[in-house]
Amino acid sequence: MIGFGNVGKRLIHLLSDEHPDHPRLADLHCKFTGIFTKHHGYTQNSNGIDLFGIEKNFEKLNSNIPDEKILQAISNLEYDMLVELSELSIEQKGEPAISFVKAALQRSKHVVTANKGPAAFAYREINELALKNNCRFLCESAVMDGTPVFSLARSGLLGTEIKAVSGILNTTTNFVLSKLESGSSFSEAIQFAQKLGFAEADPSYDLDGWDASAKTAVLANILMDGTITPFDVWRTGIIDLNNEMIANAARNKNRFKLICRAEKSGTNISAKVAPELLPYDHPFASVNGTDSILKIETDLMGPIFIRQENPTLNDTAYGVLNDLLTIAMESN
């Protein structure tokens, strides 16, 4: 496992002390042979790391672990699947996660990730590498925190061509817009989101629409066979909205929402993230707070709406677990 932050820790708890609470996981026995972080050291054991009280097993280093050392571990350690849970870097165009993912796939090791970077910047190349090496690259938790989107499309939309996706996919901006509507100032709304733990200390990735653009690129690349990156998404964040605009909209029974859209025409994909003014009776308008929604339009079926309410870390960790189980079941 690369990255041992919120999601990694939640996943380990699900697989260790919380394992007995989930009877349908009784036959699942995962062994972790290496867990690597950037600043908090690493732990390694070819017989399997003791997952109970795992923090005590970490070798704390005096300096950051260079990406090259992690690449070496990915290339040399014994394992069946890489669980990649490091952070998205827009500036580094999805690196170093893309290199981590490719290094595992080159060894025919399956990869599961919650990180948007690899699929947002290099999905076609990664998927081709996975197919060539007879292994899988799955990233259910990269969009909508583990709610089934890609697995639904894989098994429930066989033979369809997905023509368009649209939705509300960024928790922080949706929460902030809901708070502005109920009278909070921008800074109060952001502070509240930070206190609840889902907005970053630097929330600009969310407010400027980068997170939503990365999710839109992931959807376009996986569901619509695209080769776009977040830089190809026409992007406007919510920072130019204010209480007065939101109150005026409410007087006319309208609401601003940050909407992600990707549409396919021939082989061309156009993608956009921008605030849109929606009437109260629009299906997206009632998606408030931290909820999210995705509409999928196809040539044969639908439209289909997937709605997620109050996502938690548990959902994200479950999405990773579902990918692990999918690969394990396919391999048996």
Binding-residue pattern over the window 97 to 126 for ligand NAP, x denoting contact by CB under 6 A: -----------------xxx----------
- In whole angstroms, the minimum distance from the beta carbon of 283 to ligand NAP comes to 23
Q: Which of 5, 48, 183, 283 binds ligand NAP (CB under 6 A)?
A: 5
Contact between 30 and ligand NAP per CB under 6 A: no
Determine which helix (DSSP H) or strand (DSSP E) holds 250, and give its type and residue range.
helix 243-251
Question: Min. distance of Cβ 208 from ligand NAP in angstroms?
Answer: 16
Report the C-alpha gap between 232 and 172 in whole angstroms.
22
Compute CA 108 distance to the chain's CA centroid, rounded to the nearest angstrom. 23
Q: CB of residue 315 vs ligand NAP: minimum separation in angstroms?
A: 8
Using CB atoms, what's the residue nearest to ligand NAP?
5
Q: Which of 242, 234, 237 is nearest to 217 (CA)?
A: 234
List the beta strands (DSSP E) in the chain: 34-36, 42-44, 81-84, 110-113, 137-138, 162-168, 234-235, 254-265, 268-279, 292-298, 304-308
Which residues, numbered 78-97, are part of the site for ligand NAP (CB under 6 A)? 85-88, 96
Q: Point out which span in 24-32, 35-43, 254-262, 297-305 binds ligand NAP (CB under 6 A).
A: 35-43
Residue with Cβ nearer ligand NAP (200 or 225)? 200
The reply on whether position 141 binds ligand NAP by CB under 6 A is yes
269 burial class (0-12, 13-18, 19+ CB within 10 angstroms)? Answer: buried
Parallel, antiparallel, or unpaired for β 254-265 and 234-235? unpaired
Question: Which residue ranges make up the site for ligand NAP (CB under 6 A)?
Answer: 2-8, 36-40, 67, 70, 85-88, 96, 114-116, 141, 145, 313, 316
